């Protein structure tokens, strides 16, 4: 299948590589051309523009950073370049409002639209073991299903409305952030009473909260290790903002989201926007007058 892949950051590069390994003809584009070199060595064609990557493609995937990038690149360049009947698969975490806008714009041009955001860190993406949400018209999802299965250990179907996968992704990221903030605060509490974060979190990870989120992020907090970055704190702030906006649109109170928003904002003010968002633990420790 002729595939375009837009956005080759820490997640997108591994995903595009798995499509190449699957035997597809993949053309890639990234705002920074340097990111495409490794994929070119693996057999990808490198486009000079997003429009060129989309031209002639049967399916275009994107893994872009935020609403602004998706709106600029997809609505501004990719959609006009796609042939009628092609399908665009969005893997980025975007707002509900933009998902609605994309669905309408694709429908108007006769282009399929599948919302397929993912759960997983860069190493999981590279291994093809993501958990992927998928919603869109059944015929569009069915056509891209074999591609999604190259990228994910499991694809979770969520019906024909692209909004559904979008809001589940937003809700999931909110839960991750809330778990990190809870671990950060609880670790500060135990440290203030002489119990190290490592000891406390090891118990939690193996008793009450034996889950990947507690193991991965709890391990980072226990070691005070926030690099290499799997998910930037600044992106976490963006996604909590998406959750708050979606909640406000339906008048859904989310008081924990407001607490999380303020903690992330405090972290950004400390200059921690580029570390992993497990670095919320630094703010919790600072509030308690504990050293990092």
Q: Tens of pLDDT along 100-115?
A: 999 999 999 999 999 9
Decide if pLDDT at 221 tops 90.
yes
End-to-end CA distance of the chain: 50
The separation between CA 12 and the C-alpha centre of its own chain, rounded to angstroms, equals 10
The whole-number pLDDT of residue 165 equals: 98
pLDDT at 33: 87
Side-chain-facing half-sphere of 221: CA atoms under 13 Å: 34
- How far apart are alpha carbons 62 and 271 in whole angstroms? 29
Whole-number Å distance between alpha carbons of 110 and 79:
10
Is there a contact between 282 and 222 (Cβ–Cβ < 8 Å)?
A: no
Which tokens sit at 200? 């406390």
Return the active site residues: 169
The pLDDT of 18-35, averaged and rounded, is 96
**Of 284, 265, 288, residue with least CA distance to 224:** 284
Q: What is the mean predicted confidence (pLDDT) over 87-110?
A: 98
Q: Is the pLDDT of residue 41 over 80?
A: yes
Instruction: Tell me whether residue 152 is exposed, middle or buried, using C-beta atoms within 10 angstroms of its C-beta: 0 to 12, 13 to 18, 19 or more.
Output: buried
Domain coordinates in residue numbering, the chain: 2-160, 167-287
pLDDT at 291: 84
Q: Which residues contact 272 (CB under 8 A, 6 or more apart)?
A: 226, 233, 279, 282, 283
Q: What are the residues facing 114 on neighbouring strands?
A: 89
Place of tokens 């670095």: 279
Q: Among all chains, which residue has been given the structure tokens 């926007």?
A: 273
Using alpha carbons, list the distances in angstroms from residue 39 to 18, 19, 25, 47, 260: 10, 11, 12, 12, 37
Q: What is the pLDDT of residue 133?
A: 98
Supply 38's token pair. 């490794």
Count CA atoms within 13 Å of residue 165 on its CB side: 30
Q: Could you identify the residue written with the tokens 């869109």?
A: 136
CATH class of 167-287: mainly alpha
Whether 292 has a pLDDT exceeding 80, the answer reads no
Would the pLDDT of 169 be above 90?
A: yes
According to CATH, the superfamily of the domain at 2-160 is NAD(P)-binding Rossmann-like Domain (3.40.50.720)
Q: In angstroms, rounded to a whole number, what is the distance separating the alpha carbons of residues 212 and 11?
A: 18
Mean pLDDT of 29-57: 96
Q: Using 50, 70 and 90 to split pLDDT, how confident is the model at 273?
A: very high
Phi, psi torsion values for 118, nearest 5 degrees? -130, 155
Question: Residue 181's pLDDT is what?
Answer: 98
Return mean pLDDT, the chain. 97
Q: Give the global pTM.
A: 0.96
3-class DSSP string for 262-273: HHHHHHHHCCCC
């Amino acid at each position: 299948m002729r595939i375009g892949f837009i956005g080759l950051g820490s997640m997108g590069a591994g995903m595009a590589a798995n499509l190449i390994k699957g035997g597809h003809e993949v053309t890639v584009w990234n705002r920074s051309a340097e990111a495409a070199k490794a994929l070119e060595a693996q057999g990808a064609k490198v486009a000079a523009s997003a429009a060129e990557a989309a031209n002639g493609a049967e399916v275009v995937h994107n893994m872009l950073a935020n609403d602004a990038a998706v709106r600029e690149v997809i609505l501004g360049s990719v959609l006009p370049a796609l042939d009628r009947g092609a399908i665009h698969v969005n893997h980025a975490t975007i707002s509900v409002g933009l998902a609605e806008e994309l669905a309408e714009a694709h429908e108007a041009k006769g282009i399929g639209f599948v919302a397929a955001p993912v759960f997983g860190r860069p190493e999981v993406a590279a291994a093809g073991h993501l958990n992927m949400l998928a919603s869109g018209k059944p015929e569009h999802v069915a056509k891209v299903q074999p591609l999604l299965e190259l990228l994910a250990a499991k694809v979770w179907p969520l019906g024909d409305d692209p909004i559904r996968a979008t809001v589940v992704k937003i809700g999931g990221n909110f839960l991750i952030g809330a778990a990190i903030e809870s671990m950060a605060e609880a670790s500060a509490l135990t440290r203030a009473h002489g119990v190290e974060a490592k000891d406390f979190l090891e118990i939690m990870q193996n008793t009450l909260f034996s889950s990947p989120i507690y193991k991965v992020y709890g391990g980072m907090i226990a070691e005070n290790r926030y690099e290499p970055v799997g998910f930037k704190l600044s992106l976490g702030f963006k996604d909590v903002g998406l959750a708050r906006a979606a909640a406000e649109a339906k008048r859904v109170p989310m008081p924990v989201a407001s607490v999380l928003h303020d903690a992330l904002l405090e972290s950004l003010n400390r200059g921690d926007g580029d570390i992993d968002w497990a670095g919320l633990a630094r703010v919790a420790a600072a509030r308690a007058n504990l050293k990092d």
